Structure 1
Amino acid sequence: MKRVVFSTEVGKVCPECQQAIKQCHCQQLKNDIPLGDGIVRIQRETKGRKGKGVTLISGLPLNAKELKTLAKELKQRCSTGGAIKQGVVEIQGDHRELLKSLLESKGYAVKISGG
């Protein structure tokens, strides 16, 4: 079987669905949602932050767009800033208990670790 990987008309072509890369959704769906064990983990970290702690939320089974929306909502509820780095949501300060209750109300199984 001969598979097309490039076309002069559309450029690069997805090998699975034979659509132009810009129109392909199959790779995007596979790569966006991380595989995990279904448990959202919340921990506090101070390493490399000059003693200032952040709360890290990992294991969320969401794609990048949904993760950004959820992070924005969580930051607003905690009245603080934060960021998303490599699929991990960072919330400034120690908000483990509040974040646990917020995520559990959304239907996630949550586990708190770290002291």
Structure 2
Amino acid sequence: MENKKLNSFEALRKIQFDNLAPDPVNYQEPEKKPEKQYLEAHFSNKARAGKTVTLIKGFKGDGALLKALAKELKKHVGTGGTVKNGDIIIQGNYRDALMEKLRAMGHEVKRVGG
């Protein structure tokens, strides 16, 4: 058995690049924008050990769109939050900033409570 040391460039010399076709282009569907929603912005600290949160209620649609909206709102105010039971829960009292952002996105927002 002959021990032949392999050189990675030796193997590349034998490849013929003239007959290679370009990779097929995979077109992705354009991202769906959520339609106009009628939302409510609530302020709450109940059952949260005194921590203040802003609740966005009334979103109708796919759970993935709700999560995407929550992510965008959290990024806008620079704080944490979650999605539970169809509501977006943002840590802190950011009602005004969130209402402004939601209106800029084309949603109708109503301030509820305090």
Q: Pick the TM interval, shorter chain.
A: 0.5 to 0.7
| 1:2-28 CA-partner distances (Å, limit 9, x unpaired) | xxxxxxxxxxxxxxxxxxxxxxxxxxx
Aligned to 1:51, what secondary structure does the other structure show?
coil
What is the CA-CA distance between 1:60 and the residue it aligns to?
A: 1.6
Paired with 1:68 and 1:86, the residues of 2 have a C-alpha distance of: 12
- Look up the match of 1:78: 77
Paired with 1:109 and 1:62, the residues of 2 have a C-alpha distance of: 15
| Larger RCO (alpha carbons 8 Å, 6+ apart) | 2
| 1:28-82 CA-partner distances (Å, limit 9, x unpaired) | xxxxxxxxxx520000110011111100001122310011111001001111000
Paired with 1:49 and 1:61, the residues of 2 have a C-alpha distance of: 25
Gaps spanning 5+ residues in structure 1: where? 1-37
User: Does 2:45 align with 1:59?
Assistant: no
**Which has more radius of gyration?**
2
Paired with 2:48 and 2:85, the residues of 1 have a C-alpha distance of: 17
Structure 1 residue runs of 4+, over 4 Å off?
A: none
- Look up the match of 2:99: 100
- Look up the match of 1:69: 68
Instruction: Give the paired residue count.
Output: 78
- Look up the match of 2:42: 43
State percent identity of aligned pairs.
42
Q: What TM-score does the superposition give when structure 1 sets the normalisation length?
A: 0.65
Aligned to 2:60, what secondary structure does the other structure show?
coil
Paired with 1:69 and 1:59, the residues of 2 have a C-alpha distance of: 15
Gaps spanning 5+ residues in structure 2: where? 1-36
